[in-house]
Amino acid sequence: MTEMPSTSGAVLILGAGSDIATALAREFAKTGHPIQLAVREPANYETLKSDFEVRYQVPVSLHRFDALEIHHHGAFMAALPSTPHVVVCAVGLLGEPGDQGGDSTKMDLIMRTNYVAPALAMEAAAKALAGIDGPTALIGISSVAGDRGRATNYLYGSAKAGFTAFLSGLRQKLSSTQVLVMTVKPGFVRTRMTEGMALPGMLTQTPENLARQVVAALKRGRLVFYPFPWRYIMAIIKSLPEALFMRIRF
């Protein structure tokens, strides 16, 4: 079992406005970690900040962060009140089915939001964590959609594939340090982002359940984490011959 980052060290949540990010912040707060919430509009999260402070008795701070402002990532990390011991990147944008091969501006936004911006944010975070003595962690929320491109979301999937590859390289780069890099690959999660979609009930989980699993996986030192049973599902999907896969719609 890998040693967990100290509970005295803060957990920074990048893209903290999403349902998955909020659930992860809550789960880390339960274990006693101070929480740093990075969002576009901090004023909109004062109620959440107060709730965490009262409910979990941990310090919570709000910070303005726009992942797409890629040239500000380093300055953002340097301006934090304390260097976090855990950084979670939950930045992402699913987009609409019509965005696949449609408006190039929307396509560009999906690809930058799911790959370029998160990757550069994690690079900046890695540099910040390098100065900490003791175990630290970088957790990137990718997706099973990145394991194989599908017609219904190939832009999102291709960007997540890039982010997964980036995290793999970063993990190898930092393998001789005390920085653990973990890639999380959720399947279907019932969130505001997937609202209105016909999700398969037995394969769909709540953000809260996913958050519990992610924190448990971090304690076990997992490097790549698929919530059950997605590792096995994706192993089957990845093994399908391309000629057969092209005929399938799901």
Domains of the chain: 11-245 (3.40.50.720)
70, two tokens: 């890629």
> At residue 214, does pLDDT exceed 80?
yes
Q: What is d(CA 240, CA 112) in angstroms, rounded to the nearest whole number?
A: 29
pLDDT category of residue 100 using cuts at 50, 70 and 90: low
Report the SS3 class of residue 171: helix
> At residue 200, does pLDDT exceed 60?
no
Residue 40 contacts residue 66 (beta carbons within 8 Å): yes
- Residue 67 CB burial class (10 angstroms; 0-12, 13-18, ≥19): buried
Top pLDDT among 172 and 195 is at: 172
> At residue 243, does pLDDT exceed 90?
yes
pLDDT category of residue 1 using cuts at 50, 70 and 90: very low
Contacts of 145 (CB under 8 A, 6+ apart): 153, 156, 157, 160
Residue 114 contacts residue 157 (beta carbons within 8 Å): no
Active site residues: 156
Residue 138 contacts residue 180 (beta carbons within 8 Å): yes
Per DSSP, the residues of 92-141 read -----GGGTTS-HHHHHHHHIIIIIHHHHHHHHHHHHHTT-SS-EEEEEE
Q: What is the pLDDT of residues 9-58, one digit of tens each?
A: 999 999 999 999 999 999 999 999 999 999 999 999 999 999 999 999 99
What are the backbone angles phi and psi of residue 149, rounded to the nearest 5°? -70, 135
